Structure 1
C-alpha cells in the first residue's frame, strides 16, 4: 500500500506563496509517442511575504511536478546542472538569488499513455487537458495552486494533417507552418488565471459557429468543436450557451470578456465539464444532444451544464478560490446560479423538486457517512475526493439561504459588490459572505456555521393553539448529529419559509405577536436550539405548511397525519410543498408496508394513497410535469436513507407491491392520460421545451405503471412506442419498462434492435448499458459481467464505468446487496482494477461500500471485508486510500 502520499493537508496550515508568476509562456511540441513542453516563468518574490529573512536570503523556490522527465532547466538564462537543484517525484527545488527572476524548463511527458485523464492526455485521436484540481503539475513544473495567477501565452505545434485544429485559452494571435508537415498556433489570454484553468486541445475537429452581441455591443464569436460524426448534435448546446450569456447579463449584470468562447466535446473525461478560461472542455455526454439520441433529461442536463460552465467565467475564473478548501466558493455559488437559470428556462417548481430529491437521497447520505465534511472542509488527503455533493449541492443550498434571508434585491446587491471588490483575485468563502454583509448592513457571523459544521441539521416542530387568545404557536428544536471530527454542533441559522392554511385551504395572514400586519407567506429565522414563534389573530386552528420551497437543507419533523398530508397535496399554494406532502404520505404508506413485510404479514396498501393519486391523474388543469413528479414513489435509496437499518429486500418488496397496486387500481385514468399524450407525440415533432417535456414525462410514468400488469393492449402500445418514436425519451422509456417486464421475447428483441441501431453511438450505448445494469430482475450481476465483455465497453472510459458499474452498484440496490456479498466482491474487484488506471474514477465508485454501517450485521461484515481487501490490495492511489481508510475508521 502506498503511504508516502497519504499526507493530510489542513486549512489551518494555509500559507501564502513565497513567489508569484507574472507571465507564463508555454510551447508544446505534440508527437505521437511523447510531448515536449517548454515553459518560461517570469517570477517575483510575493510582496506579502517580504523580501526575505534578514541575513537568510530568499527562500527556495519549490515547483510542483509529477510524472515529468526533466530535460533542461535554467535560472535567468543560466543553465543549471543537476547539482544546482533538487528533484524528487513531486517537486523541483531551485534557489533564486534575486527578488525577480525567470525560470525556463523543458520536460518530456507521455499523454498517449495517460489513463488517469489528468494533465495532458489523449482521448481517441485528440489531445486535450484537464488541470483542475492539480493536473497542471503533470504538464510542467509550476506553482500549481489556485492563488498563483498568471498571464498565459501558449504555442502549440503538431502534425497538421492529423491535428488541423490547435486551441488554447484566450484569443488567437498568430499561426504558421513548419517543416515536415507540421504547423503551430499561438494563443494569448489577457486575464490572469491559476494553472488549473489552463486548457489545450489539438485534433481533427469540426466546428459549429455562431455569435453573440453583449449588452455593451461587443460581438463574441461562439464555437463548438466536435469530432466530425457529432457535428449534427451541437445546436442545442449552442442555443443553451446563448441563453446562458443573455441570462447572466440580465440576472447578474455579468458580461463576457473575451472575443471568442469555445467548447470542445471530449469522449474521455472524468467530470461533466471544465470551465477553462475561454476554452471549456466538456464530456461529450454534456454537450451532444439531438432528439433521436438524447432524452429530455439529457437535453436539460446539457442546458444546465453549458450554463454552469459559462457562469464560471465570473464565479470561478474572474473571481477564483484562494485554496481548494474554498472550492464551494465557486462551485456552490455556480450551482446556485445554474439552478436559477434552469428554473427560468423550465418549470421552477419541478426544478426545485428534482434538486431536493437528489439532495435528500444522495447528499444527506454523504452527510451521515464516513466521508461527511463541511461545505468548507478542514482537511483532505486528496482534493479530487472533495468534488462532492456537499461542496456542490449543499454549497448551493447555503447560497440559496443567504438569498432567502436577504431577499432577491439584497442578494443582487451583495453579488454585485462581491464581483466588483474581488475581480481578478483569489478569495475565500468569508470574502463572499462579507460582501453580502457589507452590501446589506447585516451580520452573518452565526450563519457562517453552515460553512464550517458538517452534517444535516434536524428540525423538530411542534404546535400549540390557544382558541381563546386566537394564538397559534410553533416551537422549533434544532440539532445536528455528530460527524467525523465534529462531535458537537452549535445552532445554525435556519430560514423557515412557511404559511398557515385554514379549513378551506387558503393562506392565512401571518402576524407575529407585536406586529401590526402580516403576509400570507413569510420566512422565520430559527437561530436557537429551541425557539418559539406565536401568530396572533388566528380564528381557528390552522394547518402549517413548513419549509416552503425547501428553504433550508434540513430534516424536518412535524406530526402530520395522513389526512392532513392529503389536504396539503390538494390545497397548498406552494407547489414544492404539495409535492412534499405527497412524498411524506408515500413514505408513511411504504414504511407501513415495509413493517408488514418484515413481520411476515400480508401487504395491504392504504387506500388514501390511491385516492390522492387518482385525484392528481384526473385533474387535467395541473401541470403535467408536476403530476409526473407526484406519481413517482420515493426511491429505494431515499427509503434506505430514512431507515436506521436499511432492509433492502423489504424496501424493494414494499415499493414493487405499491407500484403494482397503483397500476392496477388506477389503470383506467392512467391509460387515458397515456393514450392522449402518446397521440399528441405521434403527430408532433420533437421540441426541447418545458410543455413538451411535461407531456412526455406524464406519458412515460403512466406507461411504467401500466406495464406492471399483463395487459396485451398495453404491451402492444409499449412495443409501438419503442418501434415508432422519433425521440430517445419515449424509446428509452419503452426499452426500460420492457427490460423490467416478464415479456422475454419482446425484451430480447428490443435490446437487440436498440444495440444494432445505435452501435456506432457511444453515448446511446451508455444508456443501453445503464438500462440493463439497473434492472431489478433476478440475475443482475451476471448480466453486468456479461455486458463488460461487450465491445462497446471499456474500463478506460469513465462514461462506460458510470453507465454499467455505477448504475449497478448505485441504482440496482436489490441485486447489488445480494445476501451472498457477490455484488460487493464485484465492485471491489473493479475498484482495484480502476485504481491502477484512473484513481479519481476508482474513488468515486467506492461510495456504495462506504455506507456499510447502514445495513444489517451480515451485510456489514461482507462490505467491510471488501473495503479491507481493497486496502491491502497493493499500491493504492491517495484518492482510493483516503476514502477506504476513512470508511473503515
Structure 2
C-alpha cells in the first residue's frame, strides 16, 4: 500500500500575499479529461485516492503543477509505478514527466474533516461530511491544477459506515451501489459533463429526502431530491416548488433544458455562502432551503425562491459554460443574478422586485464603488479570490447585463444568449465572449459599452433642462469619480429610459423613450412644450448611476403621485425624503410637510397595491443618507431621520391605525396581495412606534403575541427592540424560549437586537457575543450579530470607537478559524475616509491592529491593507 499524503495545518505558516494579475493569464499546460476519486469516509479521517488522466496541452515540455493547500505528498505513482521525479514547491506538487504527452497520476491524501473550520474543501457539519470547492477548495482535498479552465469528467466512489453515512451523494448520476465489509456500503457516481474542479461536490450523512419529479420540454423525466436533517422535511416544500418553477421558466424564457437524470439539493447548517451550484448536487445554506410560515418571514420565502432559482440557472450560466479564470467571475455571477432577478419579478411584483434590487445595490455596491475596495466587475488583480465575491461582481454585474438587455430589446437579447450558450457549451469562456455574442446576436456595436467591465466607480449624471424657444432639451454631464488605480475615466455608454409630463395634469408630453448616452457632455432633445416639463428619468433604474437633477418646486411630489412608471414614482418619493433629510442634517430648511403630504397621498393606494405602498413609504436608510454627504455625521443622521419618522407617524396616525385595523392575512397565504398587506402592516407599526404614542408598545406586543406567522411576529419584535418598554423585555424572552432550538430563527433574535436604535446597542452586542448560543463556528450566527451590527450606522460609529473595537476583535478571533467570513467583516472599517477626523483615527487604528496580528490569512491581509490605504 502506498504511503499517503497527509493534510497539514495550513495556518501554521504565515501567509505571504502574492498579487495575481489578469494580464498574466496563460492557457493550462496540461489538461485532465478524466479524473477518478475514491473516498474512504470518516469524520476525523477520510482517505482520498485521486487518479488523474493528464494530457499535455502545451507544445514545450513543462512539468505538471498540481495545487495543494495544507497537503503533504509522500508518494506519487505514474502509470501504476512509483515515481520519484517530483518535488514540493510551497504547498504545490510538481511532477516532471519528461517528454510524456499523457499519463495517469495517482496520489493518496488523508484529511481530517472535523478539524476543517475554514469550511472550504471537505469538512464536517453536525456529523455530516460535505464539500465547498469554489473558488479554490478542491486543492484542500487532493492535488490538482484547481483552475476553472481545466475541465474533467468525474467518476467518484465513496465508501463509509452505513450507520453514520446512510446517504452518499456526489455530482452527476448514481450508477451503482453495494454493501461492503464491517458495516460499510458504497456508491459510485459518474458525471458525463466535463466540469472544473470548483464544481465538485460530495455529501455523506444521515439525511431524509423530499422527492419529486420534473418533465422537461423534450419529455425527459428528472428525479428531484432535497436532502435535509430529520425534522426539517416539512420545511422544504417551498424550495421544491421554487425549483420546479425555475426549471420551467428557464425552458420558456431561455430555452435551456436540464441535462441529467437527477437533481439533488442538500441543506447544510455550516456554510460560508448562500449556496453552491455544483453540477447536479447543489449544496445550500439551510437559510435558503428551510421555510414555513411559523419560522420564516415573507422575505425569507422570497430569498429561498430566488436562491434556488439562482443556483439552478447556473446549470447553464456557469456550469455548461464556465469561466476561463476567476477574473471572469461576473460572467457567471452577474448573468445569473440578472436571470434570478427576472425570474423573481415574473413570480411576484416586477415593480417591488426592482425596488428591492436597487435598494440592495445602493446599500452594498454603491459604497463599495466609492471606497478603497472599488474594482471593476472584471477585476484586474487580486491576492485572494474569495475577496472578490462582492456586490460589484454580482449586483453591478447583473445591472451591466440588464443594460445590454435594454439596449438590445427582448428578441435580440434572446438571440445573443442562444448564440452564447451554443457557441461556448462545454467551454471555459470570458466576459469578452459574452459581449461578442451579444454584439453578433443583437447586431449592435458594444465597443464603448465594454468600459463597464474595465472601469470601477458609479457614474454621476448631472442633468439640466434647457429651453430654446418652445424646444426643450436635457443637457447631460457625465463624470466617474477616481477609484484606486484608476484616476481618470472615459465616458460610459449608458441607456437612460426617460419620459416627460405636464404637471397641469394634461398627460405625457414625451412618451417613454430610450436615450443612449455616450459622451461626457451631451444634449438630448425632448420636444416642444409650452411650459417646463416634469422629467421622469432613469425609469425602471435602467442604469446603475447617480442622478443629479435640480427639480422645480413640487415636482418630486407630483411625480410621486402621478408618474406612470412604478419605480419612478418610488424614486421620486425617496428623493423627496432624501433631500429633506440631507437638508435637515446640514442645518438647512427642509420640506418636511411636502414629505408628509406625499406619503399621505401614497397611502391612498394601500388597498389596491399594498406591497408598492409599503416600499415607497419607507424612509431611506441611514447609510444611504450618509452616502449623500461629504462627511458622514451618523449621530445627526439618526436624529433627523427619527424626527422625520416621528413627524410622519404623528401626522398620519389615523391612516397608520386604519392599516393595522384591517384584519391581518393568514400567514399561510403566500399571494402577492397578502404579502404586501403584511409588509405594510409592519411599516405602519414602525411609524406609530416612532410617534412615541403611549399605547404603541402594548399594540406591538399584542401583534407579536397574536401573530400566526413569522412575518408579523418579527416585525413587531423588531419594533419593540428599538424601545425600552417592559413589552420589549417580555417579547425578546418569549421569542428566545420558543425558538432557542431552531438555529435559523435564533439568528433573528440576535439580529433584531444588533439592529436596535437604543443607545446601549454596542454594550448589548458585546454581551450577546458572550451568550451561550453565540458561536464563531457558524457563519450564519456571526453574520446575524456582527454583520447586522456593522450595518447599524449610528451604533457602529459610536464616537468613542467601541463599535470599531468590537468588530476588530471579531476579525482577529475569527481569522484563524474562518478567513473568508472574517475578511467579509472588514469593509465597514474601510470607509474611514467618509467620517470626521476623530472617527477616522479610531477606524485606522483598528485596521492597523488587525494587520499587526501574526499569521494573518491572505483574505484578511488583502482586505485590511487595501482598506487602510483607501
Distance 1:578 1:505 in 2: 15
Q: Alpha carbons of 1:475 and 1:350: their partners in 2 closer, same or farther (altered >3 Å)?
A: same
1:704 to 2:686 alignment: yes
Aligned twin of 1:207 = 209
Deviation string, structure 1 residues 431-451 (Cα, Å, up to 9, x no partner):
000001111221111100000
Aligned twin of 1:728 = 710
Q: Alpha carbons of 1:152 and 1:440: their partners in 2 closer, same or farther (altered >3 Å)?
A: same
Which of 540, 545, 554 is residue 545 of structure 2 equivalent to? Answer: 554
TM-score, structure 1 normalization: 0.95
Aligned residues of 1:605 and 1:661 also touching (Cα < 8 A)? no
Q: What displacement does 1:591 show? A: 1.2
Distance 2:517 2:558 in 1: 26
Distance 1:747 1:11 in 2: 53
Q: What displacement does 1:128 show? A: 0.3
Aligned twin of 2:303 = 301
Aligned residues of 1:67 and 1:89 also touching (Cα < 8 A)? no
Q: Secondary structure at the match of 1:228?
A: coil
Deviation string, structure 1 residues 487-534 (Cα, Å, up to 9, x no partner):
101110011100011234465464xxxxxxxxx111111001111122
User: Counterparts of 1:585-600 in structure 2 under 5 Å?
Assistant: 585-596=576-587
Distance 1:554 1:282 in 2: 33
Aligned twin of 2:45 = 34
Aligned twin of 1:861 = 841
| More displaced 10-residue stretch of structure 1: 607-616 or 500-509 | 500-509
1:637 to 2:623 alignment: yes
User: Counterparts of 1:387-786 in structure 2 under 5 Å?
Assistant: 387-467=389-469, 470-505=470-505, 508=508, 510=510, 520-596=511-587, 606-620=592-606, 622-676=608-662, 679-681=663-665, 684=666, 686-743=668-725, 745-786=726-767
Q: Alpha carbons of 1:69 and 1:157: their partners in 2 closer, same or farther (altered >3 Å)?
A: farther
User: Counterparts of 1:339-354 in structure 2 under 5 Å?
Assistant: 339-354=341-356
Deviation string, structure 1 residues 89-118 (Cα, Å, up to 9, x no partner):
420000113101110110111111000000
Q: Secondary structure at the match of 1:409?
A: helix
Which of 361, 364, 383 is residue 362 of structure 1 equivalent to? Answer: 364
Q: Secondary structure at the match of 2:190?
A: strand
Which of 9, 12, 33 is residue 22 of structure 1 equivalent to? Answer: 33
Q: Alpha carbons of 1:689 and 1:619: their partners in 2 closer, same or farther (altered >3 Å)?
A: closer
Q: Alpha carbons of 1:588 and 1:536: their partners in 2 closer, same or farther (altered >3 Å)?
A: closer
Q: What displacement does 1:4 show? A: 5.1
Aligned residues of 1:66 and 1:89 also touching (Cα < 8 A)? no
Aligned twin of 1:332 = 334
| More displaced 10-residue stretch of structure 1: 684-693 or 781-790 | 684-693
Aligned residues of 1:224 and 1:262 also touching (Cα < 8 A)? yes
Aligned residues of 2:148 and 2:326 also touching (Cα < 8 A)? yes
Aligned residues of 2:73 and 2:93 also touching (Cα < 8 A)? no
Which of 157, 161, 180 is residue 159 of structure 1 equivalent to? Answer: 161
Tell me, which stretches of 5 or more residues in structure 2 are unaligned?
1-10
Tell me, which stretches of 5 or more residues in structure 1 are unaligned?
53-57, 511-519
Aligned residues of 2:43 and 2:127 also touching (Cα < 8 A)? no
Distance 1:536 1:643 in 2: 35
Distance 1:782 1:714 in 2: 26
Q: Secondary structure at the match of 2:701?
A: helix
Q: Alpha carbons of 1:567 and 1:176: their partners in 2 closer, same or farther (altered >3 Å)?
A: same
Distance 2:196 2:527 in 1: 56
Q: Secondary structure at the match of 2:159?
A: strand
Distance 2:526 2:736 in 1: 62
Deviation string, structure 1 residues 578-637 (Cα, Å, up to 9, x no partner):
0000011001111122123xx9xxx97621111111111133454111111111000001
Aligned twin of 1:236 = 238
Q: Secondary structure at the match of 1:521?
A: strand
Aligned twin of 1:72 = 75
Distance 1:674 1:410 in 2: 47
Aligned twin of 2:5 = none
Distance 1:249 1:693 in 2: 28
Q: Secondary structure at the match of 1:552?
A: coil
Distance 1:574 1:505 in 2: 16
TM-score, structure 2 normalization: 0.97
Aligned residues of 1:625 and 1:695 also touching (Cα < 8 A)? yes
Q: What displacement does 1:362 show? A: 1.7
Distance 1:572 1:506 in 2: 12
Distance 2:620 2:849 in 1: 34
Distance 1:78 1:506 in 2: 87
Which of 306, 315, 327 is residue 313 of structure 1 equivalent to? Answer: 315
Aligned twin of 1:517 = none
Distance 2:414 2:332 in 1: 17
Q: Secondary structure at the match of 2:399?
A: helix
Which of 40, 55, 59 is residue 44 of structure 1 equivalent to? Answer: 55
Distance 1:186 1:72 in 2: 26
Q: Secondary structure at the match of 1:707?
A: helix
Distance 1:169 1:523 in 2: 45
Give me the CA root mean square deviation: 1.4
Q: What displacement does 1:793 show? A: 1.2
Which of 807, 813, 822 is residue 827 of structure 1 equivalent to? Answer: 807
Aligned twin of 1:877 = 857
Which of 810, 813, 817 is residue 837 of structure 1 equivalent to? Answer: 817
Q: Alpha carbons of 1:620 and 1:781: their partners in 2 closer, same or farther (altered >3 Å)?
A: closer
Distance 1:670 1:27 in 2: 63
Q: Secondary structure at the match of 1:825?
A: helix
Q: Number of matched residues?
A: 857
Q: Alpha carbons of 1:831 and 1:161: their partners in 2 closer, same or farther (altered >3 Å)?
A: same
Deviation string, structure 1 residues 706-739 (Cα, Å, up to 9, x no partner):
1224545443332221111111000011111111
Deviation string, structure 1 residues 802-852 (Cα, Å, up to 9, x no partner):
000111112x22111111111111111110011111000000001110101
Aligned twin of 2:97 = 96
Q: What displacement does 1:72 show? A: 2.9
Deviation string, structure 1 residues 463-508 (Cα, Å, up to 9, x no partner):
11234xx311111110101111111011100111000112344654
Deviation string, structure 1 residues 348-386 (Cα, Å, up to 9, x no partner):
011111111111122010001111000100000000000
Distance 1:239 1:787 in 2: 37
